[in-house]
Structure 1
């Protein structure tokens, strides 16, 4: 029998056997090379994205990773939607987080972070950062840093955001500049006066009359006291502005606050013969810095006593604390508390009212009352304190009919801010009619 072809090829050592062996070897080598190339390429790409999946899983699973950061940290998706915020961010920024993320500068930094390329040597994507001013609910200078966290797939990428409030640092820089400018301007007059009297005493020598010398020394003492008051007010104003962006959160009983004010001013009213009336409702509470609001009321009372006096008239000052009257269009809501200081003194013309909260602005005719001249900073301090409390201030006055200064403060259970008035603390006035 003739042997089968294949058996014959193997038995005879024919070329078919060699061809099959060669084909098998080539196939094995080819498959091995293809597997090697695929594994090499895959291994060279994965470290760029696989360094982070465990971090991302931890973030998305529990949020504990974000809360471990000491600062304010957010997690976004690639569309900029907020996925998570740590407790520090919520406590510091609250409802403002949305406004921060919607700001054009923050959106631009997000786009840059998502587009940023990096090599395998860099291991992590670069940080994209920006600084901008946020006006709502209160003016803040924000620093935002963003870094993309690669996921297993491109659509799984996340963006880690670090928020920092730089308002205080910027305010301190601005305060240093303003302090030097204002102090140098306002101190020039008393310093010139002191210098002139010193020269007069020095040049006059022993020939100077004792009465004249005493008069010179009195004026010098007054100018020195004025400089001290001015410096103290400027320093206090700088401190107020430095933390103006931090809304107070302490719950304050308005009755206790007013009791502190009355204890402070009652002896002065008794000593100078002025009438003091007060009307304080019970159960009024606000979120406030009590010391600052006491300063607000004291400044308003000081202005009433300093500029309200008129000849032949017993000045009367009324101190009130009450709930906001419904449908009062001067305030943003029907809730809240209104603190007011009203006098029946000389009043002022309407054109003064819009400028009363400007630094160093003084009503010219009111200065000529015989009292010690003020620094022109009292209402500026009031304005900044009211702004910090996210409140409003309204001033009404008319010649010979007195002046009414009202401060509205938001209720303690709400976050009022989006309607904040940024122009001169909401100063409004009237030049006619009974303002009391």
Structure 2
């Protein structure tokens, strides 16, 4: 019995020893864990402090907001632009519904491209904004949205000055050109002058060039007006099939003359939000180009199809085509693949530049595919209604 009591005491002593040792080990581990967490917090603060210092040196504005749109950080540029105070709500000074809506979408996990907004305070400002959703807690210990802001106001002011200058010069040229054209038409209707061999040779050339200049002035005025209105989004419901049929009908006499056929492949319920006059100008330019740069007895195919929430219109011709290395330049002003051909058909080099800006105004996309001597296909992707 005494032996059993002795053995029991030894077992209890050993248990107490191991429990004390374990508690000591756990205490050390807990202390190390706490120390590691403290080191991690210090490192995070130093790391984030370096990021904030770096962001304060860049000229673009940077604002970090939480889900309630409370401002957690703004760099020097953003603070100076908007007179920001930390912890105030972003909607207090950037009163733009689209911006606030995009921030909500970003927090909901939607991928967003950069976008432009217009802010009206004492003056009008145009801003380009890129939104980044910080899921990795780079800036704060919570999910935040980072707004990278570029001020494009001066750029747009310069663009407006340029457009105003072109529009004013074009307008001033229009009146004297009309007088010159009327004089040439008077000469053409005078039988005595027409019998003069010198007049007979030069008069058609002069009339042709005056018409080309008139087209150029018209396109310049149109382009200037489009650039000034490009940021205004259209709001009308448009049936694209009906509109395409209307545009094709205006070319009946021209295509009959050259024996060119236009085929329209229709799609049901093909509606978008747009501006009727500007959509007519888009497809008039595309069809006009296809006719000008196609030989007789060719076919122009206009296809319409739906892909998800996108309505796509493609204009495909069997014309002279565009060399692959020049496709990216055809929407530049005054650029022509074949200048002599363009002059002979009365091209101004502004048609596709006009189309590009009008497509942008409709928040659509344009794709150009072409093979030299085989033809060109231009597709425009609109958001479906």
TM bucket, shorter chain: 0.5 to 0.7
- Give the alignment of 1:38-53 within 5 angstroms: none
2:278 maps to which residue? 292
Query: Are the equivalent residues in 1 in contact too, given 2:160–2:228 (CA < 8 A)?
Result: yes
Alignment pair present for 1:79 and 2:87: yes
1:350 to 303, 321, 324: 324
> Deviation of residue 392 (structure 1)?
0.7
> Deviation of residue 170 (structure 1)?
6.2
TM-score normalised according to structure 1 size: 0.50
Q: 1:394 to 1:217 in 2, by over 3 A?
A: same
Unmatched segments (≥5 aa) in structure 1? 1-75, 101-127, 138-164, 325-333, 413-436
Query: Are the equivalent residues in 2 in contact too, given 1:323–1:338 (CA < 8 A)?
Result: yes
- Give the alignment of 1:45-124 within 5 angstroms: 79-82=87-90, 93-97=96-100
Task: State the 4+ residue runs in structure 1 displaced beyond 3 angstroms.
Answer: 82-86, 97-100, 128-133, 165-172, 177-184, 206-209
> Deviation of residue 346 (structure 1)?
2.2
Distance in structure 1 (CA, Å) of the matches to 2:335 and 2:170: 12
- Give the alignment of 1:28-427 within 5 angstroms: 79-82=87-90, 93-97=96-100, 132-136=125-129, 171-179=159-167, 210-309=196-295, 314-324=297-307, 334-364=308-338, 367-368=340-341, 371-412=344-385
Larger radius of gyration: 1
Query: Are the equivalent residues in 2 in contact too, given 1:353–1:395 (CA < 8 A)?
Result: yes
Computed over aligned residues only, the root mean square deviation of the Cα atoms, in angstroms, reads: 4.1
Query: Are the equivalent residues in 2 in contact too, given 1:254–1:321 (CA < 8 A)?
Result: no
Distance in structure 2 (CA, Å) of the matches to 1:286 and 1:98: 22
> Deviation of residue 265 (structure 1)?
1.8
Query: Are the equivalent residues in 2 in contact too, given 1:275–1:315 (CA < 8 A)?
Result: yes
Query: Are the equivalent residues in 1 in contact too, given 2:261–2:300 (CA < 8 A)?
Result: yes
> Deviation of residue 168 (structure 1)?
8.1
TM-score normalised according to structure 2 size: 0.56
> Deviation of residue 378 (structure 1)?
0.2
Query: Are the equivalent residues in 1 in contact too, given 2:170–2:221 (CA < 8 A)?
Result: no
Query: Are the equivalent residues in 2 in contact too, given 1:252–1:288 (CA < 8 A)?
Result: yes
Aligned length: 255
Query: Are the equivalent residues in 1 in contact too, given 2:166–2:220 (CA < 8 A)?
Result: no
Q: SS in structure 2 opposite 1:354? A: helix
Unmatched segments (≥5 aa) in structure 2? 1-83, 104-120, 131-152
